Amino acid sequence: MNVAILGTGYVGLSTGVCLSEIGHRVVCIDLDEQKINNLIQGISPIYEPGLENLLIKNIEVGRMEFTTSHRDGLKGAEIIIIAVGTPQKNDGAADLSYLEQAVKDISIHLEQSAIVVLKSTVPVGTNEYIKSILDDRCSKQAAIEIISNPEFLRQGSAIMDTMKADRIIIGYANREAANKVLEMYRPLNVPFLLTSIRSAEMIKYASNSFLATKISFINEVANLCEAVGADIKEVAEGMGKDKRIGEAFLRPGIGYGGSCFPKDVKALLHTADLHGVHFSLLKETIAINDLQQETLVRKAMNRFGDLKGKKIALLGLAFKPETDDMREAPSIKISRLLTNLGAEVVAYDPVAKDNARKILGDTITYSSSINEAVLNSDAVFIITEWKEIKYLDMAKLLKNMRHPIIFDGRNCLDEERVRACEALEYYPIGRPAI
């Protein structure tokens, strides 16, 4: 099939390479010339495991192209996927301006009939709004059908998540269009669910908000475990064995971050408010998460009394491993709190350093290795559970620190290795300190 994709962010690019890999001809359109020039040469604008290999491979076999021209990119497209960002506005609502621009571009340049597949996360009712704009603006020869097809891939495992998705949601009004989109996905051989358009839009927000709430719940249980002397590792394992609860997303930590959970929970809350539905659970999810991002600083304050002049090494900056994404990363709030309290912050991240610098500037120092970051530090904060941080050389680390103290915000260090380092003071989340 001929597929055009508008937007070359995580969703657009990952979808593009995967559809191309299963045999479709894909053209990705983006207004950013520099980005498109790089992509033509097989250079990905984002760090995402496996993406660049598939990109290069599919460009070479001629199934993948990139352009800044909507006229060229939309020519002959049977399916047009919109995967532009829907960031958060000040009031918590989703900002649809990129989406509106994409729709305008389609209506100006599309000359044939096509199915428009909306992958961007959008509030309930948006697909119908988009369809009405397209119906008004497109020429009589170009009949448009719209499909709501929310995306569930995670950064850091985007390719696997697309190739082996748990489910594909197809929200439709026209069954023929739904069948055509199903045909596009058929080679992936993953389960699918046909729903109404409004339900599909809701599934996305409800799923992300549920997962975020699960994280806030387990973080509160972890805090309670600390107070009563229980161990969250055992508690979460025991809970997760119940199939109704499930083991996933029961890892306590320093709160969720990223470009999706924070904005989607707020957007769902905004929708609830608009419709007079009192969804106070979501308010708590957000409030717990905000507080949880401060937990390592609170623990360090308890330990030291005062953080003025203390050198704190942050290991990891990205909101999670295997990504260079810094959007809403807990490391931002933690760095700001620490520097406000007069601490000196030295940070290390294998890939997110440049993006972190754009947000935090020179308020903190950036190191090029774990050992450089921890040199003469008073404490280490583990922020992101990158493999090299999980398996760091503990003996070497301790030798270089002024005080051998680790606050592990991800409970990622192996307990036996920690116990083997007698000099080490170790503070995990929701578990007894060692």
Q: Which residues are annotated as a binding site for NAD(+)?
A: 30, 35, 86, 121, 263, 327
**247 and 280 in contact (C-beta within 8 Å)?**
no
Q: Which of 70, 310, 311, 320 lies at the binding interface for ligand UGA (CB under 6 A)?
A: 320
- Residue 119, beta-bridge partner list: none
Binding mask 251-270 for ligand UGA (x = CB under 6 A): x-x--xxx-xx---------
By beta-carbon proximity to ligand UGA, the closer residue of 156 and 404 is: 156
Binding mask 215-254 for ligand UGA (x = CB under 6 A): x---------------------------------xxx-x-
Name the strand (E) or helix (H) holding 221: helix 197-228
**124 and 274 in contact (C-beta within 8 Å)?**
no
CA distance 225 to 232: 6
Name the minimum Å distance from CB 128 to ligand UGA.
21
Name the minimum Å distance from CB 143 to ligand UGA.
30
Q: Burial, 421: exposed, middle or buried (Cβ in 10 Å; 0-12, 13-18, 19+)?
A: middle
Name the minimum Å distance from CB 154 to ligand UGA.
4
Name the minimum Å distance from CB 328 to ligand UGA.
8
Of the candidates 217, 146, 153, the one whose C-alpha atom is nearest the C-alpha of residue 181 is 146
By beta-carbon proximity to ligand UGA, the closer residue of 257 and 428 is: 257
DSSP conformation letters of 98-163: HHHHHHHHHHHH--S-EEEEE-S---TTHHHHHHHHHHHHS-TT--EEEEE------TTSHHHHHH
CA angle, residues 408, 414, 420, in degrees to nearest 5: 105
Is 421 a known active-site residue? no
**173 and 141 in contact (C-beta within 8 Å)?**
no
Catalytic residue (one of 225, 260, 412, 421): 260
The count of chain residues that interact with ligand UGA, using the rule CB under 6 A, is 20
By beta-carbon proximity to ligand UGA, the closer residue of 224 and 395 is: 224
User: Binding-site residues, please?
Assistant: 30, 35, 86, 121, 204, 249-253, 257, 263, 320, 327
Q: What part of residues 111-140 is at the interface with ligand UGA (CB under 6 A)?
A: 121
By beta-carbon proximity to ligand UGA, the closer residue of 249 and 279 is: 249
CA distance 20 to 65: 10
Q: What part of residues 141-160 is at the interface with ligand UGA (CB under 6 A)?
A: 151-155
Binding mask 66-105 for ligand UGA (x = CB under 6 A): ----------------------------------------
CA distance 82 to 154: 18
CA distance 56 to 166: 27
For the chain, the distance separating the N- and C-terminal CA atoms, rounded to the nearest angstrom, is 58
Q: What part of residues 11-50 is at the interface with ligand UGA (CB under 6 A)?
A: none
For 204-225, give one letter per residue: b (16+ CB within 10 A) or e. Answer: bbeebbebbbbbbbbbbbbbeb
Q: What part of residues 370-389 is at the interface with ligand UGA (CB under 6 A)?
A: none
208 binds ligand UGA (CB under 6 A): yes
Q: Burial, 34: exposed, middle or buried (Cβ in 10 Å; 0-12, 13-18, 19+)?
A: exposed
Name the minimum Å distance from CB 31 to ligand UGA.
21
Active site residues: 260
- Summarize as ranges the residues that interact with ligand UGA (CB under 6 A): 121, 151-155, 208, 211, 215, 249-251, 253, 256-258, 260-261, 319-320
